[in-house]
Chains A and B, each alone.
Chain A
Amino acid sequence: MPKKILWFLPAAFLIGTVLVYPALRTFVLSFFRMDLGTSFHAEFAGIDNFVRLAFDSRFRSTLWMTILFTTATVSIEFAAGLILALSVDKWVRGRTAVRTILLIPWTLPTAVIAVLWGWIFNDQYGILNNLITRAGILQSPIAWLADARAAFWALVIADVWKTTPFVFVILLAGLQAIPGELYEALEIDGGGAWSKFRLITWPFLTRFIFVALIFRVIQAFSVFDLVYVLTGGGPGGTTETLSVYAYQTMMRYLDFSYGAALATANVIVLAVVALVLYWLLVRTHEELV
Chain B
Amino acid sequence: MEPDGTGVWRDIIGAFNKTRPQTPVRLVEGPPSTDARENMYSTAFLGGRSGYDIVYCDVVWVPKFAAAGWLLDLTDRLSPADRDDFLPADLEGGTYNGRLYRIPAFTDAGLLYYRKDLVRRPPQTFEDLVREATEWKDADRVGFLWQGKQYEGLVTNYLEVLWGFGGDWITSDRRVLLDSAEALDALRFMKSTIGTISPRGVATYTEEETRNLFQAGRSVFLRNWFYVWALANEADSQIKGKVAFVPMVHGPGGMHAATLGGWGLAISRFTANPDGAWEFVKFATTPQQLQKLFVKAGRIPARKRLVPEEFQDIVRNARPRPRVPEYAQVSDILQRWLSAALAGVVSPEDALRNATRETRAVLGEM
Contacts and interface: CB of A to CB of B under 8 A. Distances in A.
B361 A52 contact: yes
Interface centre among A236, A237, A253, A255 (most CB of B within 10 A): A236
10 contacts: A36-B67, A36-B326, A37-B365, A57-B358, A235-B149, A235-B204, A236-B343, A237-B336, A251-B46, A253-B326
B322 interface: no
Interface of B: 35, 38-39, 42-43, 46, 64, 67-69, 149-150, 204, 325-326, 328-329, 332, 335-336, 339-340, 343, 354, 358, 361, 365-366
Nearest to B363: A37
Contacts of A40: 68
A156 to B, nearest CB: 21
B330 to A, nearest CB: 10
Contacts of B150: 234-237
B365 A252 contact: no
A138 interface: no
Contacts of A170: none
A230 B141 CA distance: 33
Given A37-B366, A57-B358, A237-B336, A254 B149 contact: no
Contacts of B339: 235-236
Question: Which A-B residue pairs are the 10 nearest by beta carbons?
Answer: A236-B150, A236-B339, A146-B204, A37-B366, A253-B329, A36-B325, A237-B336, A36-B67, A37-B365, A252-B328
A17 to B, nearest CB: 18
Given A37-B366, A236-B150, A251 B67 contact: no
Contacts of B354: 57
Nearest to B335: A236
Nearest to B205: A146
Interface residues of A, number: 22
Contact of B336 (A146, A236, A251, A255): A236
Secondary structure of the B contact surface, majority rule: helix
A146 B343 CA distance: 11
Given A35-B365, A234-B150, 18 more contacts: A36-B325, A37-B365, A40-B68, A57-B354, A57-B358, A148-B343, A235-B339, A236-B335, A236-B339, A248-B332, A251-B39, A251-B43, A252-B42, A252-B329, A253-B329, A253-B332, A254-B42, A255-B329
A272 to B, nearest CB: 27
B38 A252 contact: yes
Interface of A: 33, 35-37, 39-40, 52, 57-58, 143, 146, 148, 234-237, 248, 251-255
A36 to B, nearest CB: 5
Nearest to B33: A232
B340 A236 contact: yes
B35 to A, nearest CB: 8
A143 B38 contact: no
A235 B336 CA distance: 9
Contacts of B343: 148, 236
A143 B204 contact: yes
Contacts of A33: 365
B341 to A, nearest CB: 11
B264 to A, nearest CB: 21
A184 B37 CA distance: 64
Contacts of B361: 52
A29 to B, nearest CB: 15
A188 B39 CA distance: 67
A33 to B, nearest CB: 8
Contacts of A255: 329
A262 B59 CA distance: 30
A289 B285 CA distance: 71
Contacts of A146: 149, 204
A207 B365 CA distance: 51
Nearest to A40: B68
A22 to B, nearest CB: 15
Contacts of A236: 150, 335-336, 339-340, 343
Interface centre among B68, B326, B365 (most CB of A within 10 A): B365
B362 to A, nearest CB: 8
B64 A254 contact: yes
